[in-house]
């Protein structure tokens, strides 16, 4: 029992100000506590010296929030917060804070704190607390407002993505620009390198490779006594040393570079090759995409798809942002889809008319995770004749069946090119949207929420552009239709019940949890989609929709940024849980048991859900939905 441990110890323990070991221990703990986790070690130790350790037995009153008591951080145990009538407001557990101003259900209230169980706190006086807030703006901002700033702090996780500087294994091989070609070639030979960096006054000005020496010197018959600047590639593209490896590799693939100088300011630190990066990251998404386009059969693609789980786990483990993970996972799905279409065309011959293979939902938004089904269709240039319709039916079968074999299961609602209803001409697609908008009912609104998220993956993308322009123009000019969409969006509520308690659901396997997709992600994407339609925005990605909606003036910047932060946090919890399930050999789901989350993470998740509720209330008022 915690109480027994403290027998004989006074209620207020000794100050840690002069005990370095205690300070180090407290600083290490503060590193796990928001917002202090944004500070470096020296600053954390400075804050730790402001703390006193205090013990309260179960049921003991701690303090009231008025007058300001300073800050309390729970080291062990739990405290409950009560209003002036001693009614329960909230509970705080290990690693959580109280003493500062707290908003309950969006309302700032005074409260009393008492120990719900034996409780060990680290206390900071009000004077010291003020000093800490003034000294560290990130801490001050966190405590200056309520949910929005705190949620933003929760999304600022430090990523561990490898930087290009981490790939450097040797000092750069440099020559001055006035050195002869012969001397530079001799240095490359003695250093056993295939390229050399050229500098002037220590600043990078060029690069020379083996290929340059062959083609620009030997083939052209140049004198080897000429200065190396004569044959160098001037002012080569370079990358800062703190850039991540994905940025470097994308730059090399886009520019078709094989060598990329790494710089600190203008000073060259070395260079990397695409091979260096791919060797360092054997499960890199771009390597998988490159391999996909080399395969010539579905069986070979299925074998490649076995690499997806470990690749997803690696992306999560490296700390990549949820937006980046969504784009990478979707890019892989796109690559599989395009290759299957190409394999179908090799088997069936060329398409009888122009077409566009389109995707909907999370793939269209570039927001896929480890668990996803397929939502796709075909837009044909015109109505198909019987033979032409047969060709597209067979092609759709090859692609959709192939995707299912790769792990992208059939859509439960049959929104696939396999379904002849979603394999029609552009004029017919336009008539679909006209009918949904003119006669909005639950089914047509459901279809709209799917099909307004659309993106071309292969074929004549101008067909998709034409459909989007038509559909978005109609929706933008029809408030009644958008009102129906708003009512549908409000049917997906965050999983919070009375007293902000989580509402769990059964995922069908007798295991309960929070449905983070349908009760967390979907409410946000629905809200943002409606606002995008108000502004006539054709972008599908939710994050980019938010930015464009802000620019168009249909979303308040502060509120929109908070909604984006909520989306990031909910999605991060979701993908981390999916990664843990895959590492345990389980199938990934969208259901997260709240007891598996830390107290701090549960609190942040509740804050995210509350912000979604605020945004839904604003939408409800805007469209007078009751």
Concatenating the DSSP letter of every residue in 104-135 gives ETTEEE--EEEESSSEEEEEE-HHHHHHHHHH
Query: Other C-beta atoms within 10 Å of 408: how many?
Result: 21
Strands 71-76 and 119-124 turn out to be: antiparallel
Domain 164-280 has CATH 3.40.50.300: no
Asked whether the beta carbons of 591 and 516 are under 8 A apart, the reply is: yes
Looking at the chain, which residues constitute the CATH 2.60.120.10 domain(s)?
A: 2-144
Asked whether the beta carbons of 72 and 18 are under 8 A apart, the reply is: no
Look at residue 2 in the predicted model and tell me its pLDDT.
36
Rounded-to-integer distance, Cα 249 and Cα 285, Å: 11
Rounded-to-integer distance, Cα 49 and Cα 43, Å: 10
For residue 453, give the nearest of 532, 341, 336 by alpha carbon.
532
Look at residue 20 in the predicted model and tell me its pLDDT.
37
Asked whether the beta carbons of 46 and 89 are under 8 A apart, the reply is: no
- Count CA within 13 A, CB hemisphere, residue 439: 4
- What does pLDDT average to in each consecutive run of 10 residues of the chain (626 residues)? 34 37 79 84 91 94 94 93 88 88 78 94 94 90 66 58 75 92 93 91 93 90 93 92 78 75 90 72 71 91 88 78 88 94 96 97 92 92 96 97 94 94 97 92 83 95 96 94 92 79 67 86 95 94 95 91 92 91 85 85 87 92 86
Give Dmax over CA atoms of the chain in angstroms: 94
Asked whether the beta carbons of 533 and 623 are under 8 A apart, the reply is: no
Helix 20-30 and helix 41-48, axial crossing angle in degrees, nearest 10: 120
Look at residue 476 in the predicted model and tell me its pLDDT.
94
Measured CA to CA in angstroms, residue 461 lies from 104, 302, 398, 434, 612 at distances of 49, 27, 21, 21, 34
Query: Other C-beta atoms within 10 Å of 589: how many?
Result: 20
In words, the CATH class of domain 2-144 is mainly beta
- Count CA within 13 A, CB hemisphere, residue 318: 22
Asked whether the beta carbons of 206 and 235 are under 8 A apart, the reply is: yes
Rounded-to-integer distance, Cα 34 and Cα 154, Å: 7
Q: What burial letters (b/e) apply to 470-495, b meaning 16+ CB within 10 Å?
A: bbbebbbebeebbbbbbbbbbebebb
Which two structure tokens, joined as six digits, stand for 457?
A: 């993956």
Looking at the chain, which residues constitute the CATH 3.10.580.10 domain(s)?
A: 164-280
């Amino acid at each position: 029992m915690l109480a027994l441990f403290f027998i004989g110890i006074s209620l207020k323990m000794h100050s840690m100000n002069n005990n370095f070991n205690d300070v180090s221990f407290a600083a290490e703990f503060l590193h796990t506590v928001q917002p202090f986790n944004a500070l470096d070690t020296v600053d954390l130790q400075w804050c730790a010296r402001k703390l006193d350790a205090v013990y309260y037995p179960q049921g003991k009153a701690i303090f009231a929030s008025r007058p300001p008591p300073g800050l309390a951080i729970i080291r062990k145990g739990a405290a409950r917060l009560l209003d002036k009538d001693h009614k329960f407001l909230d509970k705080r557990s290990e690693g959580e804070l109280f003493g500062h101003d707290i908003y309950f259900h969006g309302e700032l209230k005074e409260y009393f704190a008492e120990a719900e169980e034996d409780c060990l706190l680290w206390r900071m006086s009000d004077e010291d607390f003020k000093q800490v807030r003034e000294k560290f703006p990130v801490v001050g901002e966190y405590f200056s407002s309520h949910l929005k700033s705190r949620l933003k702090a929760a999304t600022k996780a430090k990523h561990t993505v490898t930087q290009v500087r981490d790939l450097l294994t040797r000092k750069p091989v440099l020559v001055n620009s006035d050195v002869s070609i012969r001397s530079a070639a001799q240095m490359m030979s003695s250093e056993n390198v295939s390229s050399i960096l050229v500098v002037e006054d220590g600043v990078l000005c060029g690069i020379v490779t083996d290929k340059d020496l062959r083609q620009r010197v030997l083939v052209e018959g140049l004198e080897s006594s000429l200065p190396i600047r004569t044959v160098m590639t001037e002012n080569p593209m370079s990358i800062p040393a703190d850039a991540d490896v994905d940025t470097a590799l994308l730059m090399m693939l886009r520019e078709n570079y094989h060598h990329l100088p790494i710089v600190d300011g203008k000073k060259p630190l070395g260079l990397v090759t695409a091979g260096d990066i791919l060797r360092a990251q054997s499960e890199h998404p771009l390597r998988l995409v490159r391999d996909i386009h080399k395969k010539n059969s579905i069986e070979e693609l299925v074998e490649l798809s076995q690499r997806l789980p470990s690749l997803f786990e690696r992306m999560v483990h490296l700390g990549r942002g949820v937006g980046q993970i969504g784009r990478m996972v979707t890019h892989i799905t796109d690559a599989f889809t395009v290759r299957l279409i190409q394999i179908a065309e090799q088997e069936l011959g060329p398409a009888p008319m122009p077409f566009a293979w389109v995707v909907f939902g999370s793939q269209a938004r570039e927001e896929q995770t480890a668990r996803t089904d397929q939502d796709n269709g075909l837009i044909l240039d015109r109505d198909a004749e019987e033979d032409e319709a047969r060709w597209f039916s067979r092609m759709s079968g090859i692609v959709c069946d192939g995707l299912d074999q790769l792990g992208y299961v059939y859509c439960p609602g049959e929104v696939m090119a396999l379904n002849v209803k979603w394999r029609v001409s552009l004029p017919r697609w336009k008539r679909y949207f006209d009918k949904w908008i003119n006669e909005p009912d639950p089914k047509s609104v459901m279809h709209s929420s799917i099909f307004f998220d659309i993106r071309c993956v292969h074929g004549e993308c101008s067909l998709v552009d034409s459909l989007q322009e038509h559909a978005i123009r109609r929706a933008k000019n029809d408030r009644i239709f958008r009102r129906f969409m708003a009512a549908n969006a409000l049917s997906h509520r965050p999983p919070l019940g009375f007293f902000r308690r989580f509402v769990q659901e059964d995922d069908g396997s007798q295991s309960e949890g929070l449905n983070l997709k349908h009760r967390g992600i979907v409410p946000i994407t629905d809200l943002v989609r409606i606002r995008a339609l108000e502004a006539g925005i054709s972008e599908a990605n939710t994050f980019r929709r938010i930015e464009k909606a802000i620019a168009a003036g249909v979303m308040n910047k502060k509120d929109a940024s908070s909604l984006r932060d909520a989306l990031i946090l909910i999605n991060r919890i979701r993908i981390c849980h999916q990664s843990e399930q895959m590492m345990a050999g389980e199938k990934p789901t969208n259901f997260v048991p709240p007891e598996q989350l830390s107290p701090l993470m549960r609190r942040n998740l509740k804050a995210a859900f509350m912000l979604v509720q605020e945004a839904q209330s604003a939408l409800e008022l805007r469209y007078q939905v009751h």
